[in-house]
Amino acid sequence: MSQLLCSEHVGYQGRQLCVEEVRLSRIAAEFGTPCFVYSRAALTSAFESFDSPFGASAHLICYAVKANSNLAILQLFARLGSGFDIVSGGELARVLKAGADPRRVVFSGVGKRVDEMEFALDAGILCFNVESQSELQRLSQVAHARGVVAPVSIRVNPDVDPKTHPYISTGLKNNKFGVPFEQARALYREASALPGIRISGIDCHIGSQITEIPPFLDALEKVLGLVDSLHADGIELDHLDLGGGLGIRYRDESPPAPNAYIGALLEALAGRSQRILLEPGRALVGNAGLLLTRVEYLKHGTERNFAVVDAAMNDLMRPALYEAWHDIVPVQQQADGERVERYEIVGPVCESGDFLGHDRDLSLAPGSLLAVMSAGAYGMAMSSNYNTRPRAAEVLIDGAQAHLIRRRETIEELLGGDNLLP
């Protein structure tokens, strides 16, 4: 490819934007727009970039399903040997359907319901990442009543600033996540005496889209201090779950490469025997996907020009929710001398917050195709049916082949759950 974009598997061949060997113009013609398009090669190499730096050290990469929960993507990771980090019974159902081994599944989240605990106990998951004393007590009762033992880690909140967007930082004292660091040791002691509970590990996750290594090391240092205190209390752990959160490049960020991040963790972990778990989400899928959309209308205003495209905030919420910046590029690269204008790239949803990008210099006409880059993580997974818009199709490219991994929703499906009054 002549010019690479978010991944070495996405770029222009001639003037045509391609994912692997497939032109996106062909995908739009075959499957319509808006459409999420993923590269199998990019997903595979992202997984390997996390898995291989561990070498012979005991570890498990638990892909954070929330980032992108399409069954084909979960299946691909399961086949590569991935474990999974889930946050609901629905995500557990997905990973089981995708063929995952339940003994490679960890269950995070602050609000696990009884039925979700029962489902996960029956499935035989690797570990519950417990986030509060009341959750621990409930899990003990549920497991004991079923005559089984729940493996647990306590998710500790290390009070470390990950220096990311406030909506996606989770490891600060004022966040709802995890058990306050000062209370964790006592809670472990309580856990060690509860029926139906087996202490398996410790867990910590400080936030998302973290673009530097020090916050991870600060959190790890605190966790290791606690591991040593627990050892003094006679509590031994099988694994240390260090969460996810490694950032990706959307624009000009320069996050550490996975091998640099993992190398730094392994250095700090030297001499420890516990298995290491990581829960990456975004870094495995974010730059392996894009959102393909078509320009419906151009509106040339007095102050601003608008390009109204057929994708909207319901398809990709990140710009509206976090003011996130995603690159937006033409599917057919402009020729020299074509007139470029500055546009607001907006969707059809009736909200002023419905934008995909501000101030983008592009040469557009109605019908032009655009690719919103780095949309593989928290794109489709956070989409909604707002404005009764059917959710987009999803296509996975594998070499020269295009697999439809989720068909576009129909309006009938959207209306199907509602009931009219008698």
Active site residues: 350
Smallest separation (angstroms) from ligand LLP to the CB of 378: 3
Of 275-314, binders to ligand LLP (CB under 6 A) are: 279-283
**127 in helix, strand or coil?**
strand
Nearer to ligand LLP, 151 or 245 (CB): 245
Site string for ligand LLP, 194-213 (x = CB under 6 A): -----------x--xx----
d(CA 329, CA 342): 13
Nearer to ligand LLP, 176 or 407 (CB): 176
Q: Which residue has the tokens 């509970």?
A: 197
CB of 209 to ligand LLP, least distance (A): 6
For 283, the 3-state DSSP assignment is: helix
Q: Is-contact 36 290, C-beta < 8 A? A: yes
List the strands of the sheet with 16-19, edge to edge.
3-4, 10-13, 16-19, 22-23
Is 383 near ligand LLP (CB under 6 A)? no
What mask of x and - would describe binding to ligand LLP in positions 359 to 378, judged by CB under 6 A? -------------------x
Specify whether the CB–CB gap between 293 and 310 falls below 8 A. yes
Q: Where are the alpha helices (DSSP H) in 295-415?
A: 318-322, 411-415
- Are the C-beta atoms of residues 371 and 290 closer than 8 Å to each other? yes
Binding mask 321-350 for ligand LLP (x = CB under 6 A): -x----------------------------
Interaction of residue 315 with ligand LLP, rule CB under 6 A: no
**Cβ-based nearer residue to ligand LLP, 306 or 386:** 386
Strands (E) in 218-288, as ranges, are 239-241, 275-278
Hey, which residues between 132 and 171 contact ligand LLP (CB under 6 A)?
168, 170
Distance of CA 362 to the CA centre of its chain: 29
For the bound state, the minimum distance from the C-beta of residue 31 to ligand LLP, rounded and expressed in Å, comes to 24
Would you count residue 36 as binding ligand LLP (CB under 6 A)? no
- Work out the burial of residue 64: count CB atoms within 10 Å of its CB; fewer than 13 is exposed, 13-18 middle, 19 or more buried: buried
> By the criterion CB under 6 A, which residues form the site for ligand LLP?
64, 67, 85, 108, 168, 170, 205, 208-209, 243-246, 279-283, 318, 322, 378, 382
